[in-house]
Amino acid sequence: MSIFAKIKWDTEDIASVRPDWDVAKVEEAASYVRSGLVDRSVEEGWEILETLLEIFEKDNDENF
């Protein structure tokens, strides 16, 4: 089994969405959203994976 996709978020991402926040507030927000962001990313990721696999199967229909 191999890893084929990985998502990384960092405080620069928060700062880009909230450019008016200082570093301390960005760090505090990162701690606050961490587990929720991971959970939601996994949930959405499963839906996205299913959709992309359906498209793959349609595009490669002759190979199945």
5-44 pLDDT per residue, tens: 999 999 999 999 999 999 999 999 999 999 999 999 999 9
CB 9: neighbour CB atoms within 10 A?
A: 13
Give kind and range of the element (H or E) at residue 33: helix 23-59
First CA to last CA across the chain, in angstroms? Answer: 21
Instruction: Give CA torsion, residues 18, 40, 10, 50, to 10 deg.
Output: -120
pLDDT on residue 61 = 87
Task: Evaluate if pTM is beyond 0.85.
Answer: no
Q: Residue 64 has which token pair?
A: 């199945």
